[in-house]
C-alpha cells in the first residue's frame, strides 16, 4: 500500500511538471499570437484581428496566473512566476496602448519610441524568465522521472516479492493442511485401530468371563478339559496343543485332550522330568529352534523354526494337577498377549480341577465306608431304590445279599478291635473283588454287609454269593505279623420280584434269611425261596 501511494505521488509530481512546462510553452505561444495579431491590426486596420488579439491576451493572462498557482509548492519557481506574470501584464498593457491609434497619436515621438523599446526589453526579459522556469522545471521533471521510475521499480519488486511471499505462504499453508490432514488420518487410523483392539480386548474379556462362569458348572475333569480347549481355540486362533492331567497316586501326567490341527507334543503320558514347566513350576516359553530349552515331550521330528511353544503347569494349593501345552506359528499366535491369556485360562482351570477333585473326595467320603472302601448304608438306600425301579421298568430280576461275619464279636473280644478292623477291611476287599462292576457292595453296619446285584435271578445270585463265601473262607488275615482266622460268612438272599417289590421288603427278607443261615450252622448261603 505504501509503495502504491509513493508511486501515485511521484506520478502526480511528474504530471505537475509536465503541466507547468506546458503552461510556459502555451503562455509564450499566446504572447506571440497577441503580438502577431496586434501587428496585423496596426498594419492593416482590419477589425477581424481585434477579437483574435483579445483572445490571445486573455489566454496569456490566464496562463501566467495559472503558473503562480501551480508553483505554490516551489517558492523559487513561484517567485519567478509572479515576476513573469507582472511582466506579462505590463507587456500586454503596453501592447494595448500601442494598438490604439488615438493613444499613440497623443504620445510624443520620443515617448512612443521609449515604450516600444521597453516593450521589446520586457519581451526579452520574459523570454529569459520563461527559460529559467523551463530549465528548473525540466530539471525537476528529470528528477521526478527518476523518482517515478525508482518507485515503479520498487513497486514491481514489492509486488513480485509479495507474490513470492504469498505463494510461499500458500505453499506453506497447503503443506500445513496436507500435514495436518495426514496427521488427522493417522490419528483416525490409530483411533480406529485402538477401537478395534479395545473391541477385541472386550471380546476376549467376555469370552474369559463366560469361560470362568461355565467352568464353575463343570461336573467332571473331561468337561473342564473340553471347555478349556474350546476356549484356547477361540481366544488364540491358529493354536494347537494338548492338555495333560495328573493321575491320582501316580507320578505322571496323561493326555486328556488335544486341540488344533498340528499339536507337536506327541507323548500321551508325561513325567515330571519331561517338561521344564513342571520342573520349575512356572510357564516355559520356547520361541523357535534356538529360542530356549526344548521339553522332552515335544516331538523330536517337529520343525520348530517359525514356531512358538508354551507349557503352562496347572498348579493349585501347591499341588501339580496337570499341564497345558500350546504351539503356534510365531507370526500369528503365542505372543505376549496370547501368553497372558493362556496363563489366565490356566489359573482358572487349575482351581476348578482342584475343587472338582475335592468334591469327588468329599463325595467319596460321604458315600463310602472309610474302613472297607465299600459304599455306606446311605448310598445303599439311594442306589437300591434306583436300580429296583430300573429293573421293574425293564422287567428284569434283582437280588439283594445280606452278609455277616460269623462269630465276629467273639473274634473281636479275643484279638482286639484293631484285629477286628483288619478282618473287616479284608472282607470288604474280597467282597469288592467278587462282584461285578455294576453290582453295589456296601457295609451295612458293624460286621454286616450288603450286595445289590441288578439283573441277577435267584440261581445266579446264589452262585455269586457262594463264590464270595468260599473266597472269604480260604483267605487269611495278617495283622501285626500274625495270621488271624479262619473267617467265614453267612449270606441271606432275597430276589425281586418273587420275594418282594420294595427296597425295604427286600432288605427285610434278606436279613431274615441271613439269620436263618446263621441258625442253620453259619458259613453258608441261603436264599429266601429255600425251605428249611
Q: Point out the residues that are catalytic.
A: 447
Describe the crossing of helices 503-519 and 377-394 by its angle, rounded to 10 degrees: 110
What residue spans of 248-335 are helical by DSSP H?
Answer: 276-280
Length of the chain in terms of residues written: 532
d(CA 414, CA 247): 42
d(CA 442, CA 387): 14
Give the dihedral of Cα atoms 52, 53, 58, 62; nearest 10 deg: 100
Distance from CA of residue 462 to its chain's centroid?
74
User: Distances in Å between the alpha carbon of 440 and those of 260, 367, 450?
Assistant: 41, 12, 8
Q: Yes or no: say if 30 and 56 are a contact pair by the CB < 8 Å rule.
A: yes
d(CA 514, CA 410): 19
What residue spans of 216-332 are helical by DSSP H?
Answer: 221-235, 276-280
DSSP structure class, residue 294: P
Q: Which positions ≥6 away from 439 have C-beta within 8 Å?
A: 451, 452, 453, 454
245 pairs with which residues across the strands?
254, 322
User: Distances in Å between the alpha carbon of 258 and those of 214, 219, 225, 244, 348?
Assistant: 20, 20, 9, 9, 19
Nine-digit cell at 305?
Answer: 523354526
Residue keyed to cell 521589446? 120
Q: Which of 473, 484, 477 is nearest to 522 (CA)?
A: 473
Q: Which of 270, 203, 213, 214 is nearest to 241 (CA)?
A: 270
Amino acid at each position: 500500500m505504501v509503495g502504491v501511494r509513493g508511486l501515485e505521488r511521484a506520478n502526480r509530481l511528474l504530471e505537475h511538471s509536465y503541466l507547468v512546462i506546458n503552461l510556459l510553452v502555451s503562455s509564450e505561444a499566446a504572447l506571440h499570437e497577441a503580438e502577431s495579431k496586434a501587428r496585423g491590426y496596426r498594419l492593416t486596420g482590419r477589425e477581424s484581428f481585434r477579437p483574435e488579439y483579445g483572445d490571445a491576451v486573455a489566454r496569456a493572462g490566464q496562463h501566467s496566473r495559472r503558473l503562480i498557482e501551480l508553483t505554490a509548492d516551489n517558492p523559487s519557481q513561484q517567485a519567478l512566476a509572479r515576476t513573469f506574470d507582472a511582466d506579462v501584464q505590463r507587456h500586454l498593457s503596453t501592447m494595448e496602448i500601442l494598438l490604439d491609434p488615438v493613444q499613440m497619436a497623443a504620445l510624443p515621438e520620443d515617448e512612443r519610441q521609449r515604450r516600444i523599446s521597453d516593450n521589446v526589453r520586457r519581451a526579452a526579459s520574459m523570454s529569459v524568465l520563461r527559460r529559467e522556469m523551463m530549465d528548473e522545471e525540466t530539471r525537476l521533471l528529470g528528477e521526478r522521472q527518476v523518482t517515478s521510475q525508482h518507485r515503479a521499480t520498487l513497486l514491481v519488486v514489492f509486488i513480485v516479492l509479495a507474490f513470492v511471499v504469498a505463494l510461499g505462504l500458500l505453499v506453506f499453508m497447503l503443506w500445513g493442511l496436507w500435514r495436518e490432514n495426514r496427521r488427522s488420518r493417522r490419528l483416525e487410523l490409530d483411533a480406529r485401530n485402538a477401537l478395534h483392539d479395545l473391541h477385541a480386548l472386550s471380546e476376549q474379556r467376555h469370552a474369559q468371563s463366560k469361560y470362568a462362569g461355565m467352568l464353575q458348572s463343570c461336573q467332571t475333569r473331561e468337561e473342564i478339559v473340553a471347555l478349556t480347549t474350546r476356549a484356547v481355540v477361540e481366544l488364540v486362533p491358529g493354536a494347537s496343543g494338548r492338555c495333560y492331567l495328573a493321575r491320582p497316586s501316580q507320578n505322571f501326567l496323561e493326555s486328556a485332550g488335544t486341540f488344533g490341527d498340528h499339536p507337536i507334543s506327541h507323548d500321551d503320558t508325561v513325567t515330571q522330568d519331561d517338561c521344564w514347566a513342571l520342573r520349575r513350576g512356572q510357564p516355559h516359553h520356547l520361541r523357535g529352534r534356538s529360542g530356549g530349552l526344548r521339553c522332552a515331550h515335544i516331538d523330536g521330528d517337529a520343525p520348530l523354526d517359525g514356531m512358538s511353544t508354551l507349557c503352562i503347569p496347572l498348579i493349585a494349593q501347591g499341588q501339580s494337577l496337570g499341564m497345558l501345552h500350546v504351539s503356534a506359528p510365531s507370526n500369528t499366535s503365542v505372543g505376549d498377549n496370547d501368553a497372558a491369556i493362556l496363563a489366565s485360562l490356566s489359573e482358572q482351570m487349575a482351581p476348578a480341577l482342584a475343587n472338582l477333585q475335592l468334591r469327588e473326595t468329599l463325595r467319596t467320603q460321604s458315600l463310602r465306608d472309610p474302613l472297607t472302601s465299600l459304599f455306606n448304608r446311605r448310598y445303599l438306600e439311594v442306589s437300591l431304590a434306583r436300580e429296583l425301579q430300573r429293573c421293574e421298568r425293564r422287567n428284569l430280576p434283582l437280588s439283594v445279599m445280606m452278609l455277616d461275619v460269623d462269630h465276629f464279636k467273639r473274634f473281636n473280644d479275643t484279638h482286639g478291635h484293631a484285629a477286628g478292623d483288619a478282618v473287616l477291611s479284608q472282607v470288604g476287599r474280597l467282597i469288592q473283588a467278587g462282584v461285578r462292576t455294576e453290582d453295589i457292595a456296601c457295609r451295612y453296619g458293624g460286621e454286616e454287609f450288603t450286595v445289590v446285584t441288578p439283573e441277577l435271578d435267584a440261581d445266579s445270585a446264589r452262585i455269586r454269593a457262594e463264590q464270595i463265601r468260599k473266597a472269604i473262607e480260604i483267605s487269611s488275615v495278617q495283622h501285626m505279623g500274625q495270621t488271624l482266622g479262619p473267617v467265614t460268612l453267612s449270606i441271606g438272599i432275597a430276589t425281586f420280584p418273587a420275594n418282594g417289590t420294595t427296597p425295604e421288603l427286600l432288605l427285610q427278607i434278606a436279613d431274615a434269611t441271613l439269620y436263618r443261615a446263621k441258625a442253620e450252622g453259619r458259613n453258608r448261603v441261603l436264599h429266601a425261596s429255600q425251605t428249611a
